[in-house]
Chains A and B, each alone.
Chain A
Amino acid sequence: MDRTLSYVDAVREATDQEMGRDPSVVVFGLDVDDPKGILGTTLGLVEKYGSGRVFGTPLSEDAMTGVAVGMALAGLRPIHIHIRMDFLMLAMNQLVNVAAKARYMYGGQVQIPIVVRCMIGKSWGQGAQHSQGLYSLFMNIPGLKIVAPTTPYDAKGCLIQAIRDNDPVLYVEHRILHFQKGPVPQVSYTVRPGRARVVVEGKDVTLVGISYMQLECIRAQRYLQSVNVSAEVIDPIWLSPLDTDTIVESVRKTGRLCVVDNGWSNCGAGAEIAARVIERLQGSREVSIRRLGFAPVPCPPTPPLEELFYPNGRTIASTAYDLVRGGAHDWLPEEQPELQEVEFKGPF
Chain B
Amino acid sequence: MDKPPTDKISEIYRQLYRIRRVEEEIARIYPTDKIKSPVHLSIGQEGVAVGVCANLRADDLVFGTYRCHAYYLAKGGDLRSMVAELYGKAAGCAKGKGGSMHLIDVKHGVMGASAVVGTTIANAVGYAYALKLHKKNAVVVSFFGDGATEEGVFHESMNFASLKNLPIIFICENNLYAIHTHWSSRRKISDIYERARAYQIPAERIEDNDVLAIMEKVGHAVASLRAGNNGPFFFECMTYRFREHVGPNEDFQLGYRTREEAVSWIENDPLVRVAALVDAQVRRCIEAETEAEIQDAFSYAEAGAFPCAAELVTDVFEA
Please list the residues of chain A having a beta carbon within 8 angstroms of any beta carbon in chain B.
Answer: 26, 52-53, 57-58, 60, 62-76, 78, 93-94, 97-98, 102-111, 142-143, 145, 165-167
The yes or no answer to B165 lying at the interface (CB within 8 A) is no
Q: Give 17 pairs: A residue, B residue, CB < 8 Å, sorted on A.
A: A52-B133, A58-B159, A62-B156, A63-B156, A67-B129, A70-B124, A71-B129, A74-B126, A74-B131, A97-B119, A105-B112, A106-B94, A106-B97, A106-B112, A107-B95, A107-B98, A107-B104
Is the CB–CB distance between A53 and B104 below 8 Å?
A: no
B106 engages A109 (CB within 8 Å): yes
- Residue of A64, A73, A104, A105 touching B160 (CB-CB under 8 A): A64
Asked whether B94 lies within 8 Å of A109 as measured between CB atoms, the reply is yes
**Cα of A315 to Cα of B261 in the assembled complex, Å:** 70
Instruction: Map CB proximity to A onto B110-131 as digits: 1 under 8 Å, 0 otherwise.
Output: 0110101001111111111111
A107 touches B94 (CB 8 A): yes
B316 at the interface (CB under 8 A from A): yes
Is B5 in the interface zone, CB < 8 Å from A? no
- From A60, A104, A143, B159 is in contact (CB under 8 Å) with A60
Chain B, residue nearest A193 (CB):
B317
Taking CB atoms, residues of chain B closer than 8 Å to A106 are 94, 97-98, 102, 104, 106, 112
Q: Give B residues with C-beta under 8 Å from A.
A: 63, 92-98, 102, 104, 106, 111-112, 114, 116, 119-131, 133, 152-153, 156-157, 159-160, 163, 314-318
For A75, give the chain B residue with the smallest CB separation: B130
Given A105-B102, A106-B98, A62–B152 Cβ distance below 8 Å? yes
Residues of A within 8 A of B160 (CB): 57-58, 60, 63-64, 67
> CA of A68 to CA of B119 in the docked complex: distance in angstroms?
12
Give Cα A94–Cα B92 distance, bound, in whole angstroms.
Answer: 25
Nearest-neighbour CB distance to chain B for A332, whole angstroms, equals 44
For B157, what are the chain A residues with a Cβ–Cβ distance below 8 Å? 60, 63, 66-67
| Bound: A299/B123 CA distance, A | 34
New A-B pairs, 7, CB < 8 Å, besides A97-B116, A103-B317: A63-B125, A64-B160, A67-B157, A70-B63, A70-B127, A73-B111, A98-B123
Indicate if the CB atoms of B111 and A98 lie closer than 8 Å.
no
Asked whether, in the complex, the Cβ of B130 is within 8 Å of the Cβ of A167, the reply is: no
B156 / chain A contacts, CB cutoff of 8 Å: 58, 60, 62-64
CA separation between A142 and B313, bound complex, in Å? 10
Complex CA–CA separation, A109 to B63 (angstroms): 15
Contacts of B97 in A (CB 8 A): 104-107
Residues from chain A with Cβ under 8 Å of B123 in the complex: 66-67, 69-70, 73, 98
Q: Would A70 and B128 count as touching, CB distance under 8 A?
A: yes
| Partner of B114 from A62, A67, A73, A98 at Cβ < 8 Å | A98
Judge whether B119 and A98 touch: CB under 8 Å.
Answer: yes
Q: Is the CB of B127 within 8 A of A71?
A: yes
* Given known A-B contacts A60-B156, A109-B104, A73 and B95 have beta carbons under 8 A apart: no
Given the complex, which residues of B lie within 8 Å of A145, measured CB to CB? Answer: 317
CB atoms of B317 and A143 under 8 A apart: yes
Q: Are the CB atoms of B315 and A107 closer together than 8 Å?
A: yes
Q: Which of A67, A143, A165, A166 contacts B125 (CB 8 A)?
A: A67
Please tell me if the beta carbons of B126 and A108 are within 8 angstroms of each other in the complex: no
Which residues from A are CB-within-8-Å of B315?
Answer: 103-104, 107-108
Q: Tell me, rounded to whole Å, the shortest Cβ–Cβ distance linking B17 to chain A.
A: 28
The 10 closest A-B CB pairs, nearest first, are: A70-B126, A66-B122, A63-B156, A74-B130, A107-B95, A60-B156, A67-B126, A107-B94, A70-B123, A108-B315
Contact residues in A for B104 (Cβ distance below 8 Å): 106-107, 109-110
Contact between B122 and A58, CB atoms less than 8 A apart: no
A58–B95 Cα gap in the complex (Å)? 37
* Nearest-CB residue, chain A, relative to B136: A74
Instruction: Identify the interface centre among B121, B126, B318: most chain A CB within 10 Å of its CB.
Output: B126
Instruction: Select which of A63, A71, A102 is within 8 A of B130 by beta carbon.
Output: A71
Distance in Å from the Cβ of A60 to the closest Cβ of chain B?
4
Q: List A contacts of B119 (CB < 8 A).
A: 66, 93-94, 97-98
| Contacts A57-B160, A98-B114, A98-B119; A105 near B98 (Cβ below 8 A) | yes
A69 — nearest CB in chain B belongs to which residue? B123
Chain B residue, CB-CB nearest to A52: B133
How many Å from the CB of B155 to the closest CB on chain A? 8
* A142 cross-chain contacts in B, Cβ below 8 A: 316
